[in-house]
Amino acid sequence: MEMVLESPIGPLGVVLDGETVVGVRFGFRGEGSPGGHPAVDELREYFAGRLTDFSVPVEMRGGSDFERSVWAEIAKVPYGEMITYGEIATALGDPGLARAVGTACNHNPVPVIVPCHRVVGAGGKMVGFGGGIDRKRRLLELEARVALERSWG
């Protein structure tokens, strides 16, 4: 089943298998039900700045073993923080695989919930994102703003 969510970064298609999220699609233009599912509710709360950790079940389907290991590393990056492609490559045991990490990020089937937007180039450079650099920047700006507001308490 696919649900549609109108978000500040454009329409998202949220692909579900029962209660489990198996995909998020940017710029979704197809048929889908308007949201009435915990995953859609959590995404709405995320975009409103009220949710920093998703609790909906996610299943990462497809991908090579390497891609799955990259996605697992991405899932560990805390809200409002960033990591470089090289740092993920190093965490996986081979600093020379930064480009391959970038490719794996681009193949992430569940962006936003599995936050590939938090992965940046060396020196914090905005490079590569399956949803486009503008969406990546907007997601990072949202998280930075919310993290700052929360730190002011």
- Return the closest-CA partner of residue 139 out of 150, 149, 129: 129
Asked if residue 60 is part of any domain, the answer here is: no
97-116 tens-digit pLDDT: 999 999 999 999 999 999 99
pLDDT > 90: what percent of the chain? Answer: 80
79 and 128 belong to one structural domain: yes
Which residues have C-beta within 8 Å of that of residue 146, sequence separation ≥ 6? 49, 52, 79, 80
14 and 75 belong to one structural domain: no
Angle at which helices 98-106 and 65-74 cross, to 10°: 80
Q: Which of 9, 89, 113, 116 is catalytic?
A: 116
Asked if residue 34 is part of any domain, the answer here is: yes
What's the domain count of the chain?
Answer: 2
Q: With 90 as the cut, is the pLDDT of residue 150 above it?
A: no
Q: Is 105 a catalytic residue?
A: no
